[in-house]
Structure 1
Amino acid sequence: MSQPIEPIVRRKLSDQVFDRLERLITSGELRPGDEMPSERVLMERFGVGRPAIREAMQSLASMGLVVISHGERAKVLELTARSLFRQVDLTAKIMLSQSADSLEHLKSARIFFERGMAREAAAKANAQDIEDLQRILEEQHGFLGHADEFIAADMQFHTRIAQISGNPLYVAVSEAMLAWLKQYHTEMLIWTGKEKFTLVEHKEILDSIAEHDVEGAEASVLRHLERSRALYSK
């Protein structure tokens, strides 16, 4: 019986250079803030031409591992939860634009997520957290009739709740989902009174968090997001 064919895959030089450069970063040999070696040094080190180095460097930049500035050497970036989600930002928006089901799934995921965030906030909130949420709510009230500012304050309110958890991943998830939903929040301020419902519901959420009422905070967020989910439409 003959052995199956196992073809040898020829990889692009730039892909091989990318692997080497990525290893320099993941191993800790190059740390956040460090400059990458010059193109000439890398060409000599790996025995390849300038195009392979530049293509590999662009791949690193597109993944958020380095930043490239004109006239300067590329620098290694510090990876954070926020930068991680920014790498999939465009892809997520394209996916949402192509599928109504994806938008519905995102709305459901947000409700599931924010119920947990409300419970965390009610359990952990301190006086400064409550003061910050109250300030944001007052600012949002002042933005009645100004759609962009009102929605920005809305996003800030929900993200500040996530911050109470103390977990940067939760904050990054909150920011990402709100940013992805924002482009579909088109009609909210055109319909008379809808923004006032939002303010009342935010006040109910805030009151429950201030009272450390875990069940009440979750219920308030659920009512708020179930009511407002219809406002996000394609």
Structure 2
Amino acid sequence: MLVEKISTKKVSETVAEEIEKLIERGTFQAGEKLPSVRELCELFGVGRSAVRDALTTLSGKGIVYVKQGEGTYICEFDSSKLFNQHLLLPSSKDIIELFQVRKILETGIAESSAIHRSEQDLRKMGECIFNPSVIEWESDYHFHLAMAESTGNEMLIQFMQFISETTKKSMIDFHQYIKKYPDTVKKIEKQHLEIYEAIKKRDSTKAHSMMRDHLNFVEEELLQSRILQQSL
């Protein structure tokens, strides 16, 4: 098995990412038992604490689970396969259910961000919006994650990380799709800016409202793009 040895900072996060990649590639199958902590240490060239922390992260994201006295197993439900990567966009049912969750979660995140964000958090969010060198989907992805991180609530952050990782493939495809519609791109950029300004002004009510309007708009665009795809 060929894998790269880990030698960078945030070692446990990198180990978690590498294990996820191995699961996505099919090296580790859903339902299978992962190698032991010792074997994973040898595989990645890292210490036991880094592997344990990585497994804790993956467990929190619902990717693995621990059987007491037996070891760590990969969950039967593989979040990376929630959306079919061979399709441009997920099904209409997937979109509607996803946005039901996002509207509950992210409107609250935006509201909490306006109350708890620091100047450093604000700069991080601003970099996602005002940096022209960042690819559109990456800007979108990191803006929403930065907002969650600014709440300081670890459970909210983990929920947001799970949703973001689950929807990353469809987000990339969606941004490829809307490139054909400059007005839609500008509208989304404007909505991100409005959310950012509300958080900057610590206006939690407006941040909540702007996030709700943004998610409603993106949901409608996704559903419309799905209809257009099916008509081709």
- After TM superposition, the score normalised by the length of structure 2 is 0.62
What's the CA shift for 1:114? 0.2
Please list every run of 5 or more consecutive structure 1 residues that lacks an aligned counterpart in the other structure.
Answer: 1-31, 33-57, 144-148
- Are 2:170 and 1:184 equivalent residues in the alignment? yes
Distance of 1:65 and 1:154 partners within structure 2 = 38
2:52 to 68, 77, 80: 77
Residue 157 (structure 2) aligns with: 171
SS at match of 1:169: helix
- Are 2:143 and 1:157 equivalent residues in the alignment? yes
- Are 2:125 and 1:133 equivalent residues in the alignment? yes
Distance of 1:70 and 1:133 partners within structure 2 = 36
Relative to structure 1, the CA distance from residue 83 to residue 211 in structure 2 (aligned partners, 3 Å threshold; closer, same or farther) is: same
What's the CA shift for 1:178? 2.0
Residue 3 (structure 1) aligns with: none
SS at match of 1:225: helix
What's the CA shift for 1:167? 2.0
1:198-213 pair list within 5 angstroms: 198-213=188-203
2:79 to 83, 92, 100: 92
List 4+ stretches of structure 1 deviating above 4 A.
Answer: 70-76
Identity, % of aligned positions: 18
What's the CA shift for 1:74? 9.4
Residue 111 (structure 2) aligns with: 119
CA RMSD between the two structures:
3.3
Distance of 2:210 and 2:39 partners within structure 1 = 42
Q: Do 1:162 and 1:171's aligned partners in 2 also have CA atoms closer than 8 Å?
A: yes
Show CA shifts across 1:12-49 (max 9, x none): xxxxxxxxxxxxxxxxxxxx9xxxxxxxxxxxxxxxxx
SS at match of 1:190: coil
SS at match of 1:104: helix
Distance of 2:183 and 2:199 partners within structure 1 = 25
Show CA shifts across 1:91-142 (max 9, x none): 2343444864233211210121000001110111122221221122111x44
Q: Do 1:65 and 1:77's aligned partners in 2 also have CA atoms closer than 8 Å?
A: no
Distance of 1:150 and 1:105 partners within structure 2 = 24
The structure having more radius of gyration, on CA atoms, is 1
What's the CA shift for 1:166? 1.1
Residue 17 (structure 2) aligns with: none
Between 130-139 and 213-222, report the one with greater CA deviation: 130-139
Relative to structure 1, the CA distance from residue 154 to residue 95 in structure 2 (aligned partners, 3 Å threshold; closer, same or farther) is: closer
Distance of 1:66 and 1:114 partners within structure 2 = 39
Q: Do 2:148 and 2:160's aligned partners in 1 also have CA atoms closer than 8 Å?
A: yes
Relative to structure 1, the CA distance from residue 182 to residue 190 in structure 2 (aligned partners, 3 Å threshold; closer, same or farther) is: farther
- After TM superposition, the score normalised by the length of structure 1 is 0.61
Please list every run of 5 or more consecutive structure 2 residues that lacks an aligned counterpart in the other structure.
Answer: 1-11, 13-31, 64-74, 85-89, 227-232
Relative to structure 1, the CA distance from residue 171 to residue 66 in structure 2 (aligned partners, 3 Å threshold; closer, same or farther) is: farther
Distance of 1:213 and 1:89 partners within structure 2 = 42
Q: Give the letter for the 1:126 counterpart.
A: S
What count of residue pairs does the alignment treat as equivalent?
171
Distance of 2:45 and 2:124 partners within structure 1 = 40
Q: Give the letter for the 2:158 counterpart.
A: A
Q: Give the letter for the 1:59 counterpart.
A: K
Distance of 2:167 and 2:186 partners within structure 1 = 20
